[in-house]
Amino acid sequence: MAGEPGELYELHLEVPQIEDLASPVLVHALDGYVDAGSGVSLAVAQLLDKLESTVIATFDVDQLIDYRARRPTLTFARNAFIDYDAPQLVIRAMVDEVGNTFLLLTGPEPDMQWERFAAAVGQIADRFAVRLTVGLMAIPMGVPHTRPTGMSTHATRPDLIDAPQDWIGTVQVPGHATGLLEYRFGQAGRDAIGFAAHVPHYVARSDYPETARTLIQATSDATGLVLPTAGLDAAAAAVQTQLATQLEENSEIAEMVHALEGQYDAFVSATGRGLLAESAPLPTADELGAQFEAFLAERETP
């Protein structure tokens, strides 16, 4: 039987960064649900690589992870197992580029005990007087890579969003731990906001650094944190160059992308917003996927 939420985690209050926490922002960027273009994982890697960080809380993954669903890696060499890549679900104290401290929750999305996990994160948020929680996600969409990266934004209070948009109406989506976390935080009166970057779904299975750059910038804009994106510039430019080459070499692919451009531009012209033209028919994922299968295979081949 599940115990108290506080039994799911351990705080490391001896680290120096604890003293610098004054109503910090908590950013959560878990993997395991959907991460088109590896946008979230690339954003996490960028932040961990460029900013100072210290682990201040660890979760008991044995209680939260189904190892059979996502098997960790064991290394075997010369008749023996020599290493184990244990999953880690942790909260780090991070220091932005001007010295502000914030919290970053990373690791695998829990497979079980979602309610208890959300309550545990809520306890930690209350313990450090977190002023705002930000969730990151990257989702595949029928949008062209030649236009600015779009973003779906949601929050626990309407005034947390600059320009609320009802572009999709009411839909039901598969449950995920980060979505439940935001929902429960809203019920508890905590401020939380979520960003879902729109990734062209024909590149959703490949690294798309522009998504990571967009997510990091959105987080900076919403929180006032000064977060690094320059490290993603070269990688994003390289991908755009590769895509441009593919368009030049394959007229069918180019025609498909041009159709998406026309749809995108029509929507922006009519509404002033960079989302989807709901009135225009989209090619199906199978249609676009068939066209780009060879392209993806080329990019993923070493």
pLDDT in tens, 169-219: 687 888 999 999 999 999 999 999 999 999 998 889 999 999 999 999 999
Q: For residue 259, tell me if it sits in a domain.
A: no
Write out the residue range of the structural domain in which residue 104 sits.
5-228
Q: For residue 245, tell me if it sits in a domain.
A: no
Rg (CA), the chain: 21
| Per-residue pLDDT of the chain in tens (302 residues, 90 and over written 9) | 568 999 999 999 887 777 778 899 999 999 988 899 999 999 999 999 999 999 999 999 999 999 998 899 999 999 999 999 999 999 999 999 999 999 999 999 999 999 999 999 999 999 999 999 999 999 998 888 988 888 889 999 999 987 656 556 687 888 999 999 999 999 999 999 999 999 998 889 999 999 999 999 999 999 999 999 998 999 999 999 999 998 888 888 888 888 888 888 887 777 655 554 333 334 444 444 444 444 445 444 44
- The domain tally of the chain equals 1
Q: For residue 110, tell me if it sits in a domain.
A: yes
Q: For residue 282, tell me if it sits in a domain.
A: no
| CA dihedral of residues 165, 167, 171, 174 (deg, nearest 10) | -80
Kindly report, residue by residue over 57-91, the tens digit of the pLDDT: 999 999 999 999 889 999 999 999 999 999 999 99
What pTM did the predictor assign? 0.86
Q: For residue 300, tell me if it sits in a domain.
A: no
Q: For residue 279, tell me if it sits in a domain.
A: no
Distance CA 240, CA 144 (A): 11
Distance CA 192, CA 188 (A): 11
The pLDDT assigned to 272 comes to: 59
- Whether the CB-CB separation of 100 and 226 falls below 8 Å is answered with yes
Q: Which residues contact 57 (CB under 8 A, 6 or more apart)?
A: 9, 10, 11, 12, 90, 91, 124
CA 119 to chain centre: 21
Q: For residue 57, tell me if it sits in a domain.
A: yes
What number of CA atoms fall less than 13 Å from residue 42's CA on the CB side? 25
Task: Please give the single-letter amino acid code of residue 16.
Answer: P
Q: For residue 268, tell me if it sits in a domain.
A: no
CATH for 221: 3.40.50.10900
Distance CA 100, CA 24 (A): 8
